[in-house]
Structure 1
Amino acid sequence: MQDSLNNTLNIDAYNLILKKLLSGELSTGQNVSEDAIANELGTSRTPVREAILWLQKEGYLEIYPRKGTFVSKFSLKEILDIYNLRLLLEPQVISSSFRNPTQAVNEKLTEYKNYNLQYIEDENIVSNGDAFFSQDLEFHLFLFDLINNAYIKRICRDALYKCIISKLVFLDQLNIKRSRIATQHVVFIDAALNGKTDEIFEIYKTHIISERDSIMHINIQ
């Protein structure tokens, strides 16, 4: 978000709409009601409209005169292009971020490891799949927060968000095993805790490739 959204109400509206996009409450092609968002926030439509305009600039929403605002649709090629961008950027910047981790970072990594171990031992120990994917998003955002360059951090977040929003549409077509994702997280964390930056690079790269390859043959309408 840029300075043009520095008004608190604008930011609240932006964050609420983005949250709805990332949770799937607002899905690809769906109409975004300014009135509904404004009522939920208890505000006028003005900050909602400002937030929508900014989300349009960022590619999340599309505005059609006399028709309304709709969640953007991404073709399979566009989604794969985003994954390929992540593949070029994220493994390098993430691995570089772990050259001198603080104790606080290592403690947080250990927390994430313990959470993910539950899914490796038994996928059903924590039954709420939404909670797992919410934690998965939180974990990646934690990694992005370690990146020193704010511009690169913003690119990483934007690419991740678009991948999540796009993937939610055809989630039922994917054979996603939470235990596989959790295992990849634990392997990554072990490498990070032991300062193995070369391994971090390769593990993170494999993580993105496996997710990208899982959607290559999905039928996106």
Structure 2
Amino acid sequence: MGETLSDVAYRHISKKLVSGELVAGQKLSEQTIAAECGISRTPVREAVRRLTEEGLLYQIPSSGTYVARPDRRQLIDAFEVRMALETFAMERAVRNLTKANRDELRKACETMHAMAVSLRTRRRPLLEGRPLVTFLTADLSFHLLLLKAAGNHLAIKIVTNVYQRNLFFGQYSHKRDLRHVAWAWRQHAEVERAIRRGDPSAAARWMHAHISWSMADALTAFDAATAAATRSGRAPSDPVHDALAQITARFT
């Protein structure tokens, strides 16, 4: 089945969320999205409905659609779903991987390593722009290759959605500095080495450790960012809270 117009709008909005072009509290214009995609507003509304159900957008009656503020509990939930699905699928994935699949896993690791080396040699504080996109693409490809080899298409769909959610949260949590990028590369490399040895148990342990570490790292950064915003008095706008405050103000 081909991509629908709703899928086009969904992918377009998702890209804006992940890139940070749309930020927490910002109002979403369906008309603008429709114009950018060259489609009518009907498929855009369907895409907005899907993203609202996924918790990335809020809809406020008589006000509009807004970008949600990342929630700590949702961040934990997203990582735990990945942890459960990806470690469970490892044994079947290792059994089914072809030589071409294994080569792709190795190349994904090499790409992540190259990004870490580039960050160190150029002495830049954070991985940003095209290098960040390259790193994240290699990261996601690594995980999806394993799920594809496991043959569970529902797991692929769920993890893709959850990974996207992690990337959205990452705009407000992860600071992809040398430490983060180097550790992420090493953990993927350990999974790949275990697969090469034909040891699915070790691969599953490393995958579990990798996702656990990523979650802890994200939560630490998320908490620090939240505390900093609170101290400065510039906490990200929450559209639901703002709407309730406006309604309350009318009666006080």
Give the TM-score of the pair, scaled to structure 2.
Answer: 0.75
Q: Quote the Cα distance in structure 1 between the aligned partners of 2:135 and 2:3.
A: 33
> For residues 100 and 145 of structure 1, do their structure 2 counterparts lie closer, same or farther at Cα, with a shift above 3 Å needed?
closer
Q: Quote the Cα distance in structure 2 between the aligned partners of 1:101 and 1:206.
A: 22
Residue 25 of structure 2 aligns with which residue? 29
Residue 135 of structure 1 aligns with which residue? 138
Segment of structure 1 superposing worse, 54-63 or 101-110? 54-63
Per-residue CA distance 1:109-149 (angstroms, 9 max, x = gap):
12213223324555346873343233323333333333322
Residue 190 of structure 2 aligns with which residue? 187
Residue 88 of structure 1 aligns with which residue? 84
Q: How far did residue 173 of structure 1 move?
A: 9.6
Confirm whether residue 197 of structure 1 aligns to residue 193 of structure 2: no
RMSD: 2.7
Residue 74 of structure 2 aligns with which residue? 78
Number of residue pairs matched? 217
Per-residue CA distance 1:177-202 (angstroms, 9 max, x = gap):
21111111222112222221011101
Residue 160 of structure 2 aligns with which residue? 157
- 8 Å Cα contact 2:111/2:135 also seen in 1: no
Gaps of 5+ in 1: none
Confirm whether residue 177 of structure 1 aligns to residue 176 of structure 2: no
**Equivalent in 214, 218, 238 of residue 215 of structure 1:** 218
- 8 Å Cα contact 1:116/1:186 also seen in 2: no
Q: Residue type matched to 1:204 in 2? A: M
> For residues 63 and 215 of structure 1, do their structure 2 counterparts lie closer, same or farther at Cα, with a shift above 3 Å needed?
same
Q: Quote the Cα distance in structure 1 between the aligned partners of 2:133 and 2:3.
A: 31
Q: Quote the Cα distance in structure 2 between the aligned partners of 1:115 and 1:175.
A: 14
Residue 246 of structure 2 aligns with which residue? none
Q: How far did residue 47 of structure 1 move?
A: 1.5
- 8 Å Cα contact 1:28/1:165 also seen in 2: no
> For residues 113 and 136 of structure 1, do their structure 2 counterparts lie closer, same or farther at Cα, with a shift above 3 Å needed?
closer
- 8 Å Cα contact 2:174/2:217 also seen in 1: no
Residue 42 of structure 1 aligns with which residue? 38
Q: How far did residue 163 of structure 1 move?
A: 1.8
> For residues 152 and 134 of structure 1, do their structure 2 counterparts lie closer, same or farther at Cα, with a shift above 3 Å needed?
closer
Residue 109 of structure 1 aligns with which residue? 105
Residue 9 of structure 2 aligns with which residue? 13
Give the TM-score of the pair, scaled to structure 1.
Answer: 0.84
Percent identity reads 28
**Equivalent in 50, 54, 60 of residue 50 of structure 2:** 54
**Equivalent in 94, 97, 114 of residue 93 of structure 2:** 97
> For residues 13 and 122 of structure 1, do their structure 2 counterparts lie closer, same or farther at Cα, with a shift above 3 Å needed?
closer
> For residues 24 and 16 of structure 1, do their structure 2 counterparts lie closer, same or farther at Cα, with a shift above 3 Å needed?
same
- 8 Å Cα contact 1:144/1:157 also seen in 2: no
> For residues 159 and 8 of structure 1, do their structure 2 counterparts lie closer, same or farther at Cα, with a shift above 3 Å needed?
closer
Q: How far did residue 60 of structure 1 move?
A: 2.4
- 8 Å Cα contact 1:120/1:183 also seen in 2: no
Q: Residue type matched to 1:27 in 2? A: V
